[in-house]
């Protein structure tokens, strides 16, 4: 069973790299779907069937379709325009990436070195109760954020290009 995990790990890392490095946005989205499916497979090999099923339903099903829908509404999907990795806009991307990396390192440090004791054994009932009671408001806020992003993509796609005088 260990070799299945390694195959899925290679699949997931490879499709994640393809999602980042492809020039065509549709190909990026398809590689992202393969990445999400690889993550679901890893959950299944770790005997976390509920999380694997949620991964397939939510990410492979809903989020990937949302991303593809938003991509299809935009004008430039081929990646023919080039952006310098050191331009003004890219600097903000580098700063945001550094911030996310710092948060990940902090959370991993917190999880690996500070916590002690055995991990908790949460059941599906515990996860459902937490989602519908404790995390109901953040869950709804995220759904509103995704809806706003979709509406923004539609507005950007339907905006008529202004003629230069």
Dig out the tokens for 38 from the structure: 């690889």
**Do 97 and 16 belong together in one domain?**
no
Task: Report the predicted TM-score, pTM, of the whole model to 2 decimal places.
Answer: 0.54
Asked whether the beta carbons of 127 and 50 are under 8 A apart, the reply is yes
Nearest to 76 by CA among 17, 156, 150: 156
| Residue 10 pLDDT class (50, 70, 90 cuts) | very high
Residues 53 and 38: their CA atoms lie apart, in Å, by 12
Contact (CB, 8 A) for 60 and 33? yes
Kindly state whether residue 111 falls inside one of the protein's structural domains: yes
pLDDT in tens, 11-32: 999 999 998 888 887 888 889 8
Question: CA torsion angle for 15, 57, 112, 142 (degrees, to 10)?
Answer: 100
Write the pLDDT tens digit of every residue in 112-160: 665 556 666 777 788 778 878 888 888 788 888 878 877 877 777 676 6
In the chain, pLDDT over 70 holds for what percent of residues? 79
Range of the domain at 99: 88-117
| 39 and 29 share one domain | yes
């Amino acid at each position: 069973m260990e070799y299945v995990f390694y195959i899925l790990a290679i699949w997931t890392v490879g499709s994640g790299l393809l999602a980042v490095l492809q020039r065509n946005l549709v190909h990026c989205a398809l590689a992202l779907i393969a990445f999400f499916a690889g993550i679901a497979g890893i959950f299944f090999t770790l005997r976390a069937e509920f999380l694997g099923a949620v991964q397939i339903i939510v990410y492979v099903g809903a989020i990937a379709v949302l991303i593809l829908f938003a991509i299809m509404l935009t004008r430039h999907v081929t990646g023919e325009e080039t952006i310098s990795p050191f331009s003004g806009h890219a600097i903000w991307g580098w700063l945001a990436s550094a911030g996310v990396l710092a948060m990940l390192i902090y959370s991993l440090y917190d999880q690996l070195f500070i916590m002690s004791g055995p991990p908790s054994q949460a059941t599906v009932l515990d996860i459902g109760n937490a989602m519908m009671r404790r995390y109901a408001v953040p869950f709804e806020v995220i759904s509103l954020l995704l809806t706003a992003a979709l509406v923004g993509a539609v507005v950007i796609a339907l905006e008529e290009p202004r003629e230069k005088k």
